[in-house]
Amino acid sequence: MMKVLIIGSGGREHALAWKLSQEKVIEKIHAAPGNGGTAKIGTNVSISSEDIPSLLTFARDNKIDLTVVGPEAPLTLGIVDAFNEHGFTIFGPTKGASQIEGSKSFSKNLMKKYGIPTGAFEEFTDLDAAKKYIKKIGAPIVVKADGLAAGKGVIICHTEDEALNAVDLIMARREFGDAGNKIVIEELLIGEEASFLAFSDGKTVLPMATSQDHKPIYDNDRGPNTGGMGAYSPAPVVTRELFDHVMQDIMIPTVRGMEAEGFPYRGVLYAGLMIKDNRVNVLEFNARFGDPEAQPLLMRLKGDLSPILFATIRGDLKNHVLAYDERPAVCVVMASRGYPGSYEKGKEIRGIDDAEKVGGVVVFHAGTRRDGDRVTTSGGRVLGVTAIGDDLKQAIGRAYDAAKIISWDGAQYRTDISAKGLKYGKA
């Protein structure tokens, strides 16, 4: 019997706990720091996901058999390296390998070196030089903070003034702190986005089902970017032909490139793609499960998850396959009023239990806190209402029927999650 520690507090971490809790070999699940959902499945531990020494001590004292890292920040801080040094089994890429998400400059230069399709770019550490470049090439353009910014450091600029203001926001006003010490300015790619996630043990790449995220806060992809306002799987924009192209020309070369650079990649590799006219470009790489993509992906995944995690760690993925429920799944994120800007916490949430009575629905917690039977908001993205259905239309209907049952003061959510998928017909 195994004891598992899940690091993080989002919807992704609740989904991981939910999936792992179904395995007979797992005796106990801890989440650090966890949320209102993980508290119902296992035990929350009041340790920050970035407090690596305390997490190490907890793993040792509680004889943890497997640690699973959800968010990117502890990965880029080197939590996997630290656990490995102390002999603990942990799932996720090393600090060096996590640069693929932790530094957009590293990622873009890797793609350039190994011929992985992506938009043209330049990088800057000097504010005046960046502005001079923008005035030279004009807009539309994309300005990105080089480091981690919780999914909010990418600014799409349709005018030159917007681009100049974005540079000021990141480099002068330090909106994203040290993440803005360097910026990447790249061409704006147009098309339909999709998420492509795969397990990699450093050699073998085992792809997951396709999915699609919805980054902007408002319907029709308007407003500022967020950590993700909803997702669905599969994503019909990724045809069988495109799927094979992404594997052969993006995922496998990236893993080989990382090994050649001295950073063998073991964990989940997530490629954010832009697709137009059967051409695919990489927008960015992430070094972990997507949130909210993990919710529909894990809902559809058949069989146990832990053998895949252990095979990834051991370098034994070539002997494994993934099987998915053919039915689509949809996740609608319910967020606090004001998100992705400032928002209030401590609002009591009502209706979660009733929402989960809707057929095929699981409500994954993100920014929540549990106090007895009472659940309150504690973050920007609060819940991921996730549903599986016989077809995409049914899955969408179930997710929104459940979301309408849930309420708190200031709840907001997009009403068009997965609508892009309907135009492809039955999915």
In whole angstroms, what is the distance from residue 12 CA to residue 346 CA? 21
CA atoms of 92 and 266, how far apart (whole Å):
6
Q: What is the mean pLDDT of residues 123-127?
A: 92
Q: Return the CATH number of 2-92, one of 3.40.50.20, 3.40.50.1820, 1.10.486.10, 3.40.50.11540.
A: 3.40.50.20
Give the residue carrying structure tokens 């019909």.
236
CATH of 126-181, picked from 3.40.640.10, 3.40.50.300, 3.40.630.30, 3.30.1490.20, is 3.30.1490.20
Residue whose C-alpha is closest to residue 146's, from 170, 173, 165: 170
CA distances, 120 to each of 11, 282, 363 (Å): 33, 11, 40
Q: Report the pLDDT value the prediction gives residue 171, as an integer from 0 to 100.
A: 92
The predicted pLDDT at position 426 comes to 52
Which of 164, 162, 123 is closest to 145 using CA atoms?
Answer: 123
Alpha-carbon distance of 14 to 4, in angstroms, equals 13
Fold topology of 329-422: Glycinamide Ribonucleotide Synthetase; Chain A, domain 4 (3.90.600)
**pLDDT band of 225, cuts 50, 70, 90:** confident
Q: Supply the mean pLDDT for the chain.
A: 95
Q: Is the peptide bond before 340 cis (omega within 30 degrees of 0)?
A: yes
Beta-bridge mates of residue 26: 2
Q: Say how far apart CA 156 and CA 143 lie, in whole Å.
A: 7
Q: Residue 151 has what pLDDT?
A: 67
**196: phi then psi, degrees, rounded to nearest 5:** -125, 110
Task: Assess contact for 176 and 102: CB atoms under 8 A.
Answer: no
> Mind listing the pLDDT tens digit for each residue in 163-183?
999 999 999 999 899 889 999
Three-class SS of residue 74? helix
Question: For 43-90, what is each residue's pLDDT tens digit?
Answer: 999 999 999 999 999 999 999 999 999 999 999 999 999 999 999 999
Residues 306-336: tens digit of each pLDDT: 999 999 999 999 999 999 999 999 999 999 9
User: Hey, where are the domains in the chain?
Assistant: 2-92, 126-181, 192-324, 329-422
Residue 427 has pLDDT above 50, yes or no: no
In tens, the pLDDT along 354-408 reads 999 999 999 999 999 998 889 999 999 999 999 999 999 999 999 999 999 999 9
